[in-house]
Every structure is written in C-alpha cells, then in structure tokens.
Structure 1
Amino acid sequence: MALKGKGKKRQISNADILEYSFEDVFGDGGPSFTSQAISSDARRTHEKRHQLEVPSPLKKKHKTNHFLQELGDDFEYTFEDLTAPPPVPASAKPVKARAKQYLSSFVPLVDEYLAEFLRLEGKGFAAREWCPRCPENQRSPNPAYRCVDCFYPDLLCSSCCVDSHQSHPLDRIEHWNGDFFERVSLKSLGLRIQFGHTGFETCDNPQPGHTDFTVIHSNGIHAQTLRRSWFPATDLEPQTCATFRLVELFHILTLQGKVTTYDFYSGLEKLTDNTGLVKLKDRYKSFMRIMREWRHLVMVKRGGVGNDGKRKVADTQPGELGPDCPGCPRPKVNIPDDWESASNEKRFLYILYIAIDACFRLKRRLVSSEKKDPSLGPGWSFFTEDATYREYLLGVTDQKEMSTCSGLAALDYANTKFSRGYGSTGVGLGVCARHEFVQKSGAADLQKGERYANMDYIFASLMRHHDGRLFKFISYDICCQWSKNLIARLTKLPPHIRLTLIVKLVRFLIPKLHIYGHKILCQLLFSLNYTAGSARTDGEGIERPWANIGPVATSTREMGPGSRHDTLNDHWSHWNWQKLVGLGALLRKRLLKAIPERNFQAESLATFTNNQMEHVPQWKAMVEAFEADASKPNPYEIPKTGKSEHDVRLECAEEEAAAQQDGIPAIHNVSPSAFVLAGLDLEEQQRQIRIEVQTRRDQTTKQTAELLEKRTKLSRYIARFRALQIAYTPAALQALADRPAPAPDKEEEAGRVENVPLFLPSALTEEQRATGCNHGVVGIETRLRDAQCRSALDEIRSLLHVKSRFRTYRGGNVRHQGSTTRARGLMDRNDQKVRIHAEKYVAAWEAKRKLVGEANVGWRRLNPKKDLRCMEAEEDGAQRSKRKPATEEERAEGIPEGQRGKGHASEGHRTVSWICMGVDSSAPGTTEAILKGTFVCAPKAWARTRRWTEEVELLKEEMRRVPVALRWKAQWWRDRMDVEEFTGEHAEGVRAYGARQAALMDSIAEHFEGMWVGLHDLEVVEGAVIDAEEQPADDEKDDNEENWVAPESEGEGGIEGDDEEGSMGEPDDDGEDD
C-alpha cells in the first residue's frame, strides 16, 4: 500500500537528469498552439494563435528522514503497483513484469528478510534507558512494554503504556522479560474502560464489570516497511505493503479454515466498499506474492535456520524444516541409551510405526513449470527434492506387477490413471501411524497412478531421517503386494536415499479398515490385530491428513509446481503443530479408554478359558510359534471343515469330463451337474423374491415394475428348466401334474412364480427317485446340498459378525435422527441377508434329510428364532430390561458380584450359538467339535487382550518420552540463542527468538505433565463402564467384518476406535456385497 498526496508528480528518467523550466524551453512567451478555420465561402483560411496557461512551478521536495513529513493533511491511502515501469510513449506497448522476476530478486534477499524478522523479536532500535514518554524530571528507567498494533514500536513504562492506550484498549501489548517479549494484557497493567461516558469524562459512581469480560476484535490494514511490521510486495521501491497483522490473520484463517486468497482479498474489497461505486486498485497478485514469501519466511524462521550463523538460508538441508514427532522413538533424544538390549516383551515400546498412501484429489493441471515457478524451499520440509526425484523417474517404465490379491485398484490403475492435461495426478505421503505427523521428505507428486516407483522413493526418502536400528511397522493398503521384492527395488534408488532394510527389523501390515477388501489370507498375515507389538494402532491415520487437506485441492490444482509445493508444505506444517499441541489431551484420552478395556478383555479371557485350562499352554504355544515363524500353522485361521459349493461343482465337472473321455454318451448337451445347479439357482432366485415381497409391503411404482420384470425373467427360466427335467427327472413332471389344486383363498399366492415348486430330486419320493431320476442327479444334489449347508452357515456367521459391528458402532457413535435412520436401514438390509441364507440352510438341510435320512444329515437343524444370534447376545431385550432393576437392587443391597442376576446367564455360564463355532457339526457337542472352534476363538481372545495390554504400556511410554523430546528441543533452541556471527540488534533478536521458542517447548512439556499427573501408575479407572452386550465376540471384532465396517474417525488419533471429531463419513448405501 502506498501513500499518495494530491500534488503532481515529477517524471524522472534517470538519476542524472537535468531540470528545465517552461521558460527555458518555450521562451518568455510560454507554450502556445495555432488553429485554422475555413471561411463560409470556402475561399479563405483564418489562422488563430492560442496561448497555454503555464502551471505554477513544482515545489522542491522537502528532504527529511521521517517519511510522514512528506504528507500533507489531506493525504489518502491508495493501492498502487510497486513495480510500475517507467513511463513510455503512448505508441509503445508496456512490458509487463512476470512474477518470476519478483521472486528471483526476492530469493537472494531471504537472509536479510529473515534477519529483519528476527530483529523484531528483540528490542531493536527502540531500546532506551529511560521511558521516552515520561516527563523529563520523572522518567522511568528501563522501559519494557511495547504495543504490537501501534505504528511506533517504542518501549514504554507500564503507566505510559496504559495512558497511551486509553483510546486503543484492544491493542496487544508485549513485555520484555529480560530474554524475550511475552504477551501481557492492558488489563493486567491497570487499564480500565468506562462505558457510558466520553473519553474525557470521569464516572462518579463506577461499577466493576466481570473479571473474565472478553472482547473479540479484528485490526485493519496499514502500510510501509519490515521494521514497521509492514511486508512489502517487492524489494525495490515498494508501493504495496501488507501489515504483519493482516498477513498473520489470513495465514491462520487459510490454515485452519482453508480460506482461499481470492475469498479473503475479495472480503477486504467488500469491507472497503460493498456498493460497487468505488473503483478499487487491484492488488490481488501482489497480495498472493506477499503471502507466498511470508509462508516461506515463517517456515524458515520456525525451523531455526535464522539462528544458525554459520549457514545461509540457501544451505538448508532436505527435510530440515519439517518437525519431528515427539511421541515416536528417537535414539539419543527420547528413549533410553540401552533400548537395543530391551527384552522381547518390551521391545515393542521402541517400534517406529509408519503409514503411507496416495491421494488422487491433489491433482495439478499442466500449468507453468518448475523453471517458471520454482519452489522457494525445494525439499526443505515435506516434499522431497523435486529435481532428483524427477530425474529418477525418467528411468522408470510402466510397472508390470501381477496382483495375487483381489480388488486392489491401486495396482489395477497404476499405469492407466487418467493423466492427460495434468502435471501431477496426486500426491504420495507418509505419516507416523500413531500420531499422524506428516514425515519430513515424505511427500512427492504422482505422474500416473500409484506406481511402485513413486511409493518406493517416498518411503526411502522419509526413512533416511529415522534410525535404521529401530524396528519398523509399515502400514500400506496394498502392502501384501507392494512388499514383494521391495528390498531389491530399494537398492536401485538414487544413492542419497538408497535404503537397506534389515528384514528382521521390518513388518508390513494393512490398515484395519482397508484389510477387509483383501482376501482371507491377507487378512490373516497382514492384520494389525494379530501382530505382536502393534498395540491398538489402526494404520488408518494416513487418511486423516487427506481429509484435512482436501479443501485445499481446488486451489492447488491451478497453481504452478513451486507455489503448490510451498502451499501444501505450509498446511502440513500447521497440521503437525496442531497434532503436537493436542498430544496431551489425546494420549490422556486414549489411556483412560485403554485401561478399562484391557481389564475387561483380560477378565473376559480368564472367564473364557476357565474351563479349558489344560489347553491354554497349547494355544499360547501355537501363537508364539506363528509369531516367530510365519510358515507355522496360523492359529487365527478358521479351519476348513469341508467342501464348498464351488469345490463340489469342480469335482462334478471333472467327473463328467472323465466320463466323456471314456466314451460314455451324454443324453443332453446340458450336463447333469449343470442341471442340478440350474435348479438350485432358480430356488435361490425364488427365495430372494419371496423375502423382497415380504419386506417391501408398500412398494413404489418403480419397485413394482422391477419386481414384475424379475418374475417374468424367472418364469422364462423355469420353463427352460422344465424342458431339462424331461431328460433327467421325468418323475418331476408327473409329480407336478399330480399336485393338488390350491384352496381358493390361496390360489393367487400359489400361482406366483416364486411359489411354484421346482421338484428337484429331493422333492420326490424314494420310489419316484428310484424310477424317475437319471444319470446320478440324486447323488449330485446330495453333495451340493451338503455344500450349501456349509456355505450358508459361513455366510450367516459372517453376517452376524457384521451385525455385531453395526451394534457396537451404533451404540457408541449414532445419536441423531438422520444417522439413526441410516444405521437402522443398514442393519435391516444385513438382517435381510441373514434371513436369505438362513432359509437357504433350512431348505438345504431339509432336502438332504429327505435324500439320506435325518440320522445321516451331518448338520444341526437350524432354529431361526434361537440360533440366529451374535456370540455375545445371550439374552434378548426383554430379558435385559427385566434384569436391570434387579441388578441395581442387588448392588444397593451389597450382594456379591458372583451371586447376582440369578434369572440370566452369567459370563461363566453363557451359551454360545453353535453357528459361531465355525466347525462341522457332524458330531454336535463332542469335545473335538468344540476344540476346533475354541482353537480359533482362544488365540483371538488372547491376541485382543495382548493388544490392549500393549496399548496401555505403549501409551505410558509415549507419555514419558513426549516431554523428554520437548525439553530436548528446548535445549536445542537454547544452544542457538547466542550466535557469534550476529551482532547488535540482529543478535538480540536471534537470542530473544531462541529463548521464546525454548520457553514454549518447556511450557508445553510442563502442561502435558500436569495433564498426566497420576496416570503413569494408573491401573483402574474409577467409574469406567464397559458394556459387555456391545462387545464383539472372540472371533467377531477383529477380522470377520465383511464389506462394511464402522468408519474410523479422522481426528487426533491413529488408534482404532478413537472417537475424535471429524468423522470420515458414513458408508454408502451400496457399500455392501450383494
């Protein structure tokens, strides 16, 4: 912003120009011109001379060191371009300066700018021995108060400071404590505001206000130089400036609220004139340039570069400006010197948890280039060095990785992600998985999809800042594929980031939410739930920075590469700072949750194993053997108890192919197994239509039309099936003809296609099957019915697991009507699927009973009303409501815990539904069948108890090392307070800033320790309530949730189940597996 008076300006071409007057150029007569006119008869011309009025000569400018004396009383603020070129002839086209030119002149001056920034941290030129405002004979010594908002940064005594702010009560005051300036309030200095009077009146009867009275105020815009806390848009003859207060205001608004520069600047324009009648100067680009330089300077200053007198800013090292996580283990900083000799049981306390992922929302259009728009701090904080990164990628061709897992879009589209017109299709990022600090040198652009080459480079780049001796848990949503051949790929990276991983010191895992999109083998081998030392880390912390940075994507998409990197670095720096100051409340909350959960799980495990103590050593031995050697039998894998429908189908197809090779002729081009499978498929379609009709009583026109189309299609299929029955089961057609007519009131319902009997072999009598069924279709149906029982039970068990998760999530998170309705709809659809598979099991069981007899079925009869329950659902709602008053009454009477609740099943006598055992029930109730189920349930229950125990110990260790790391950082700042290369006011500012940062680190550490008093020895949380009815069963919570699970929060935590603010959102309606 420039100050302009109403006088005229002298044009200056260069520094040596001579000054001429009008008399020197035009003589005594002064300037004049002539005009000619034609007479009315067009025969003559008349010439007339016109004299110009000569303006008064310009007054010589008064030379003074105080720029305000240049202004008259009528000066006005105007926006004016700092970089306006010298005047040119009207015919010439002005040359517009590019932003690159301004930034190129700014970069060499960064050290001087930074020195001025640090100078402001000290007393600077305002230092005085006596207060300059006090009367001559009453001056106070050593003035120590200054105003942040006043134009002059004079140091005053407390009384003069209060007196000078009678009309400015909302200004911010700082006090020099001997080392640095600290914030104080005018109230603490004695300023009092009296309402209801003018500024020069006193109140005869003053009434005190509330002691916590607060005023919210926003300061405006002013202008000039760095030492006046005004930031210039250029370093040469600036005419546009922004005050530090304005820049600070926008900086915090854009970091916290993601306000764009355009919206903020437009708001300033509307604040100046909201009528549109006044034409305002456009200084939008100048303001953007100011903000970019400000971001860079603030990051460099906070990184401590200005407190290092031996180096220039340009000598900053890769990742140096990125802060470290105080909660993660760092040798020689916050963990003991003998950490490498820790026992196996305590080694998990020193594991480094890293999560990586890519986000394709952070695209950048193909605008500008690195040459035109370079980063001001290339590779200094979170983005890796772009030049070497791109040079490495030039030698990388399209990856040809084969996926052995299912549904990994990151691999499917690794080379085919839409990239035309984009300079970058996304960003890869790494964070610490437990505290979600963005890792230094842990971000890079993606050019196509999520290629291994990009993610390998990002992983190696961030790992160079960590000690290679630490044990590492690496979480990535495609870890099952990415980890293959990773060691070999890392050796091919550029030398400066080449990484050698010790296989025994690294473990690859998949985040808990993403793992359910992988096949069962991945869920067993890469699960955080079953990995010793993982505590309750969920691995989903990488998704939360994406959610935070998402609103910025629309702005960065249109930026050049350098400004985009600088902007994202700035936002991630703010993210890390918010994570740091929130660690106190976060770790406290986690610990207060983990302790009762650990106690509950330990008690549940003890109860679960109370009657099988002789098998406990065997369970533990299986788990420990698997943890030591992954090739050993997996104790968490549900044993396969028989053949699935697909297995039986394959066997039948192989038998038919062998028969054809032996020359046995076929009676139809459709094989016998295909015939039976077609009948079973029609039976399934009928079952689905029946349940749909029962659940949708009030259908819309669209739903009615869809149902009619399904019935029509099914009717055509049944007609084709009848033609096949002529060849394979002619007795079925006779049975269909002999079927008695339905009752008149049932005729319409019986005539519906979903109720038409198919007459598979199982629906015929023994005599009809013996004479009217050909080519072994009876045996084929028997085998398929047995497989149907098995697959239906598996589906029911999985859906009951999902239901258990639904109940847990709804009970802990759903509160409002909209979300309750949505959750209820999801649960209803899940219950509908349970009903479909339950009917499938009942039909398969009944068919097999007719085929082989009840004694030879090999499966239990299913009672839907009693058996379709989650493992923990030992009683229904009516029983629960009946026992609650009795329990409260028993507690009031002091009845011991073990004698309470005689009317309901206790924890030790709970009956578990046979469905949840996950075993073949051919020998129901036998020890062998029970052991097969408990050999899976017990290791999972033990793993769950161990994870909560690890979580408690790890949280206490994190609460120990966070203050240690903060005090280490405080000492780091103190070591950079006295810099011998700096002198005078610059040295004083450097020392003040170092002292202030050190005091800040110490204050945060003390604050955290105050929040954690007594927690290190806490073993029981008084008043904590764990609802056993909402706890998942032993084999439910961890790995059997299919297709939809409760979304993890994206707030301050990287631990499963943290209920922080900022949910990732509810699942889509179609997020289920149909």
Structure 2
Amino acid sequence: MYTSTFADATPGRGRILISSSYALDGTPASDDRTRTAATFEVLDKYHLHTLQAKTTAYDFYAVLERLTDNTGIKPPNWYQVFLRMARQYRHLLMLKRAGRGHDPTGVWGTGAGELAVDCPVCPNPKVNLPEGWEDAAPGNQFLYVLFLALDACFWLKRRMVSSEIKDPGLGTRWAYVVENVPYRHFLQTVTNQKEMSTCSGLAALDYANTKFSRGYSTTGVGMGVCARHEFVQPNGVGDLQKGERFANMDYIFGSILRHKDPRVRKIISYDIVCQWWTYLLERLQTLPPLVRMTMILKLFRFVIPKMHIHSHTLDCQVKFSLNLVPGSGQTDGEGIERPWASIGAIATSTRTIGLPVLLWRRLDVARKEQASQREAFELFSVQQADRVPVWKKMVEDFEMDGDKKNPYQMEVGGLTEMDVRLKFVTEEAEEAKRGVPALHVVTPSAFINAGLMLEEQQRRVRVQAELKKAGTTAMEINMKTLCSKLNRGLDQFCKLQATYNPAALQALAARTAPPDELVEQTPLMLPSALLPAQREGGGCVAGLIDIENDMRAAQCRTTTLPRLRNQLHIKSRFLLYKKHNSRHQGMNTRSRTIVARNKTKIRLHSEKFQMAWEARLRIAGGDKSKVGWPKLKKEDIQCMQDRGGRRGGRERWRQR
C-alpha cells in the first residue's frame, strides 16, 4: 500500500497533517476501514485561518500541497475528503462548546438555535434585565428595546451542483440556519409571489423579480442580526432561491422572533421596510406553525438604515427614519452590512472577545456627542421659547401614538395642477349644459394648459441644449426631433391665440426677433406676459388671466418646490456615494453621468418655479406680497453637501 503525506514545515513539530492510504488493489477507505486522517493541528490551523485571514478551503489546501511537494508535481487530490473532515470537525467543536456531551439528552437532544452564540448585551429577560423591567417609566423604556436588522447578500450564490440528499447539512437547525424541510415546503406554496415597489431606488426588489436565477439552487442569503452588536441571530439565516422575496424574509423574521421574548419592544431595521411591512401581518398568518406568531404592533417599530434611507422618497425618509425614533440614539441600522464583508455568520461569533472594548469606546463617543448636542439644543430652545411648548406637545403625542400627526412631515396644502384643471373643466362643462356658447372646440382652460405644456417643452429643450453642448450624433438627432415637435406645437398654439388672446399675436408681430433666436427661446405671450392695457378691450378673453394665475399657483405650491426638495435630497445621496465609493475612470464616469442627470432635473424644477413666480408677479402688478412665495434665488438651491450650503438655502425654504 502507499501513503500520501502533507507535511508541516515547522521544525520540531508533528509533521503529518493529512494522510490517505489505499490498499494495493485500489480499494478506497470506508467507515469500517478508515484510511484517511487529519490531525487536530491542521484542522485548528484551517479554522483560525478562515476566521482571521479569511482563507478559503481551496487556498489552504493548495498551501498544504505546496508544503508537501513544491516542485510542481501534485500529490493525489484529497480536497473533497479535507472539506468533509473540516465540516465535521467544526460541527463537533460547536457541540463541544455548547456542552452537549454532558447533557443527558445527548447530541440529538440539541434544540433549535441552541448552538448559536447569543448576544450578551441585547435585552433578554432571562439574562440581563432587572425585575419589573416591564413597568419601567416612559423615560427609561428605551433601555429595554431590542434592535434587529434584516438584509440579504447576493454574492453568496450556489449553483445546482449537488442536492440535500447527496450532501446533507450537519445539524442545520441547531445554530444559525433555519430548518431546511419546513422552510422549503413553505417556499413551494409561494412560487407565484410577485414583489411590487412604489418607492424609488429599491434595487432589492429588482433582485426579487430577477430572471437570472436559472442554474442556481441559491441566489443569495437572507439574514438577521442584532443591529447594535452585529450578532447573527439563532435560526436567522436562510437561502434565497429567487432573489430577496418577501416570503423568504418573512420566514427568517418569524424564525428569529420565536427565540425572543414577546414582551420586549423591538425596532426592526430593513432597507426595503417601507414595502415589506405593508402587508406583513397578513403574510405572517400564512407562515407554518413552527414560525407563526402574533405581532403586537405597539411593541414594534419599523425603520430604514441611515445610509439606505437617502435613496428612498421623502415620505419614506419621514416615516421610517431612525433619527425620529425615541431611544434609538446613534444606531445606524447598517450593522448587518458589515458581516457580509467578512465570511458571513462565522466571523461574527468572534466579536464576543472585543465587545467590552467596543462598548466602552462607543460610550465615550456618546458622552462627548451628548454634551455637544445638548448645548445646541438648549440654545435653540431659548431662541424659540414661545414655540417650544407647542412643538414639544406635538412630538410627545406622536411618540406615544404613531397614528397622531407626524410633526416632522412636511405638508403641502392647496390644489395641485390636476385639481385646478379639473376645477375649470367642471365649470366649463356646467356652462355648456346651461347653453353658454363656446368660442372654440378647445376650452379656455385647455388653451392655457396647452401654453404651459409648450413652455415646459421649451424649458426641457433649452436645458438639454445647455447641458449637452458636446453631445454625440445621437444627441443631435434627438435635439432636432424635439425642436421639430416644438415648432409644430407653436404653430398650433398661434392658431388658438387668434381666438383667445389676439393681443399676443399683435405683440409678437411688433416684436423684432434676433436673427439667431432658437425655437426654445421664442416667447409664447401667455396672458401674464401682456400689459393690463393689452389684455383689456378684447385683447384677451375675460377670465383667462385668472385661469393662468390659479395654474401658476399650483405649479409653485405642489409641483415644483416638493420635487425640487426631493431632487436635492437625491443629489446629496449621489454626492456622498460618489465620494465614498467611486474609484477609477469607469465608476467615476458613471457617477458623473448620474449626477448630471440629477442636475438636469434640479434645473428644470427650479426654472419652472421661477417662471411661475415671475408670471404671478406680473399678474399682481409687481406687488410681491400678493405672489404668495418669496423669490427663489440661485444661492437658495443647495443641498447639504454643497459648499456653504450646510445651513443654506434648502434649510431656509424648509422653514418657510
């Protein structure tokens, strides 16, 4: 018989790490005739290399081959044998450290999640909570809140190269992974589930509906951790078969909560929580009995991690912000992203050793930050002393009952553009019923609306022309197409002006146009552009100026300003992402393209407001007090990342 030996290069120590023997007749090793072995030394080394140096099994095995023979002649391949032994050794280590060898029920008496390392700091009534914690005063309830974070990683894929029958797991329910059989059976009942998104920037839902799952038994991994200390939760890890579907995350969520005391308040952080939690109660009722639970909504709060929330709409940023949750402190909810950067659940279990130092460091930072924030808060309270009681009452009411008015949510009152159009269309329809003769098949409100739409087209052409001066041939073709469409619209609008606004035609005829004037610079001469004397005496149909005034007000109130604020929030997120993540030419080019597209939208919204504001000012005869809004200056249009804009224009507009 012959033997292949992997040697340890360390002098003076046992040299045999792995040896495998075959009989002369080629008979391999078997359970009753063991011919393959590995020392504890090599298995311990591989375990430590994996945890600390993040060395893969393949790379570690390659090192052993080099230590055996570095001439390029490969010894017999025992890689699969080594993988099996390493898995068995780690499995036995978990059982040993959990004391299962001394338990009367033995190994097979191990319960679900019993081998997982529980977080020693998170609130647990059986471990670290005092007597009577349930009756704590409202000001101390934040001490007994459990922060959980959910997320998925799509880098941890697995192709269809084996099966559970050929390669079964070792105690899959005893530590971090959910029970395979009930989990798989449940997922088979929700194969037609389709995730829908009504929020911008949710790439996770794109993964949920992806078609690129063919050939994979696992397209990713869903997981839950304690958001503050990053300990993977018992039975809190599950495979994803077709992206980050709600069904997978629902099961993982229920599997985690069955190990938690239902009396403890919980804050759940998830980057798509605005969509996920909407019908969560209904979906939880469809879970199998093993993980089904009853949720008391008053003990739960759903939030979006602080980094991810900037990619959501303003409505999400108000409803699901950690900054607005009492007792959350400076928790960012992004702790679950950090384990993905190492080697998943195994690395997190080693954090217990350094946890005291970490907590002391965070406590020191929190004390310094608290002093700074308290000083600023007290100064602000003195300056706004007459408003503080009202604000405080609103905040306290909202924190006690989430159904009360949200004091942090900005409300936009008044009619929208669509509401104003509907109002005038209804009035015109009633006039037609009364027999009032119509001047044209196109109604007065439709005439003004057509003018405003043409104005919007001119604005888009003008902004694109300025931002894309060095455009490609395709851009030039696109611009010429837009200009041709705009020319046809102007011709049709001039025909309507002869009926509703003849003074505009006279003003255009008397005007000397520059020889190089472009179609997007041609004035439309809406009623607001005419002098009062020009609008009188049949120069403009009666009531037309009021229609435009109301539509301009709707533009200022509900269209331009909210959208401008939203784009400034998005710009802030883009700039932060570019600063921290964009490297090299390719990524920087893509980032600049995205920022330029956002810049175009900001320019369009700001110019639309400015034109509407100037039109209302002309209608009001120059009286700014009748316009309803202050003038929007260029220096007002800034986000938090703009130089000099940290407390600049956007903050002033928010206060107004």
Specify if TM > 0.5: yes
**Corresponding residue for 1:581?**
353
Distance 1:680 1:511 in 2: 40
Give, in whole Å, the separation in 2 of the partners of 1:914 and 1:293: 60
The Cα shift of 1:365 comes to 3.3
Is 1:602 the counterpart of 2:399? The answer is: no
Give the letter aligned to residue 853 of structure 1.
Answer: G
In the alignment, which residue of structure 1 is the partner of 2:652?
916
Aligned pair partner of 2:489 in 707, 720, 727: 720
Quote the offset at 1:241 in angstroms: 3.2
Question: 2-side partners of 1:581 and 1:525: how far apart?
Answer: 37
| CA–CA distance in structure 2, aligned partners of residues 717 and 401 of structure 1 | 39
Inter-partner Cα distance in structure 1 for 2:608 and 2:191: 51
Given candidates 614, 617, 624, the residue that maps to 2:389 is 617
Matched, 1:437 2:437: no
> Could you state the TM-score of these two structures normalised by the residue count of structure 1?
0.53
Map Cα deviations across residues 695-740 of structure 1 (whole Å, 9 max, x no partner). 566x25x1x6514531442243233232222123444344333221
Conserved? CA contact 2:450–2:493, under 8 Å:
no
What is residue 524 of structure 2 aligned with on the other side?
758
Query: Aligned residue for 1:1066?
Result: none
Pick one of 348, 360, 379 that aligns with 2:142: 348
Aligned residue in 2 for 1:296: 91
CA 1:714/1:825 → structure 2, altered by over 3 Å: closer, same or farther? closer
Distance 1:454 1:663, change over 3 A: farther
Moved more, 910-919 or 309-318: 910-919
Aligned pairs for 1:50-65 within 5 A? none
Work out the CA distance in 1 between the residues paired with 2:69 and 2:443. Answer: 84
Distance 1:792 1:422 in 2: 46
Q: Write the distance in 2 (CA, Å) between the matches of 1:462 and 1:355.
A: 11
Q: How far apart are residue 465 of structure 1 and its match?
A: 1.7
Q: Does 1:769 align with 2:542?
A: no
Change (3 A) 1:487 1:223: closer
Secondary structure in structure 2 of the residue aligned to 1:346: helix
Q: Does 1:245 align with 2:41?
A: yes
Offset at 1:572?
A: 0.9
Indicate yes or no: 2:553 matched with 1:786.
Answer: yes
**Offset of 1:472 from its aligned partner?**
1.3
**Distance in 2 between residues matched to 1:808 and 1:279, nearest whole Å:** 50
1:72-121 alpha-carbon deviations (Å, 9 max, x no partner): xxxxx5369xxxxxxxxxxxxxxxxxxxxxxxxxxxxxxxxxxxxxxxxx
Q: 1:864 aligns with which of 630, 633, 637?
A: 633
Matched residue of 1:508: which SS?
A: strand
The worse-fitting range, judged by mean Cα deviation, of 233-242 and 296-305 is: 233-242
1:73-112 paired onto structure 2 within 5 Å: 78=4
Q: Distance in 2 between matches of 1:669 and 1:407?
A: 43
Q: Would you say the 8 A contact 2:461–2:482 is kept in 1?
A: no
SS in 2 for 1:609: helix
- Alignment check: 8 A CA contact 2:5 2:17 kept: no
**Aligned pairs for 1:464-863 within 5 A:** 464-484=258-278, 486-487=280-281, 489-490=283-284, 493-516=287-310, 518-549=312-343, 571-577=344-350, 579-656=351-428, 658=430, 672-694=444-466, 699=470, 702=472, 705-707=474-476, 709-728=478-497, 729-742=501-514, 747-748=515-516, 751-770=517-536, 771-774=538-541, 776-790=543-557, 791-799=559-567, 833-855=601-623, 857-862=626-631
Structure 2 counterpart of 1:722, which letter?
D
SS in 2 for 1:780: helix
1:836 Cα deviation after fit: 4.2
Change (3 A) 1:681 1:318: same
CA displacement 1:353-385 (0-9 Å, x = unmatched): 112233444443344332222111121111111
Distance 2:435 2:173 in 1: 73
Q: Secondary structure of 2:174's match?
A: coil
CA separation of 1:684 and 1:711: change in aligned 2, threshold 3 A: farther
- 5 Å-filtered alignment, 1:248-397, equals 248-256=44-52, 258-269=54-65, 272=68, 276=72, 278=73, 280-306=75-101, 308-396=102-190
8 Å Cα contact 2:458/2:486 also seen in 1 = no
Indicate conservation of the 8 Å contact 1:79/1:283, yes or no: no
CA contact (8 A) 2:146 2:267 kept: yes
Following superposition, the deviation at residue 387 of structure 1 comes to 1.7
- How many Å apart are 1:615 and its aligned residue? 2.0
Residue 918 of structure 1 aligns to a residue whose secondary structure is: helix
Task: Answer whether contact 2:267 2:303 (CA < 8 A) is retained.
Answer: yes
Q: Distance in 1 between matches of 2:4 and 2:635?
A: 82
Equivalent position amino acid for 1:373 in 2: D
Deviations 1:988-1023 (A, max 9, x none): xxxxxxxxxxxxxxxxxxxxxxxxxxxxxxxxxxxx
Residue aligning to 2:23: none
C-alpha displacement of 1:431: 1.1
The change in CA–CA distance for 1:720 and 1:504 in structure 2 (over 3 A counts) is: closer
Shift of 1:635: 1.1
Hey, what's the Cα distance between the residues in 1 that align with 2:205 and 2:638? 39
Superposition pairs of residues 81-160 of structure 1, within 5 angstroms:
none
Cα distance change, pair 255–660 in 1 and its aligned pair in 2 (3 A): farther
For CA contacts below 8 A with separation 6 or more, give which structure has more relative contact order: 1
Distance 1:848 1:296, change over 3 A: same
Instruction: Find the aligned partners of 2:417 and 2:222 in 1 and give their Cα distance.
Output: 42
Distance 2:566 2:613 in 1: 19
CA distance in 2, matches of 1:368, 1:822: 39
Q: Deviations over 1:231-255 (max 9, x none)?
A: x986543434334333334334444
Gaps of 5+ in 2: 21-27
Change (3 A) 1:221 1:531: same
Evaluate the alpha carbon distance shift between residue 708 and residue 486 of structure 1 in structure 2; reply closer, same or farther with a 3 A threshold.
closer
- Find the aligned partners of 1:661 and 1:370 in 2 and give their Cα distance: 74
How many residue pairs get aligned? The number is 642
Secondary structure of the corresponding residue to residue 544 of structure 1: helix
Aligned to 2:24: none
Q: Residues 153 and 220 of structure 2 are in contact (CA less than 8 Å); yes or no, is this contact kept in structure 1?
A: yes
CA contact (8 A) 2:254 2:293 kept: yes
Matched residue type, 1:858: V
User: Judging changes above 3 Å, is the alpha-carbon distance between structure 1 residues 472 and 867 closer, same or farther for their aligned structure 2 residues?
Assistant: closer
Identity of aligned residues (%): 49
Query: Post-superposition shift, 1:324?
Result: 0.5
SS in 2 for 1:529: helix
Q: Distance in 1 between matches of 2:442 and 2:66?
A: 78
CA distance 1:761–1:441, shift in 2 (3 Å): same
Q: What displacement does 1:395 show?
A: 4.8
Q: 1:870 to 1:916 in 2, by over 3 A?
A: farther
CA offset digits 1:389-431 (Å, max 9, x no partner): 2334455564478877667676688677655444344332211
The runs of 5 or more residues in structure 1 that have no matched partner are 5-76, 81-148, 151-164, 172-218, 226-231, 550-570, 878-909, 920-932, 934-1074
One-letter code of the match for 1:614?
D
Deviation at 1:305, TM superposition (A): 2.4
- 1:322 positional shift: 0.8
How far apart in 2 are the matches of 1:410 and 1:640? 30
- 1:717–1:491: structure 2 CA closer, same or farther, 3 Å change rule? closer
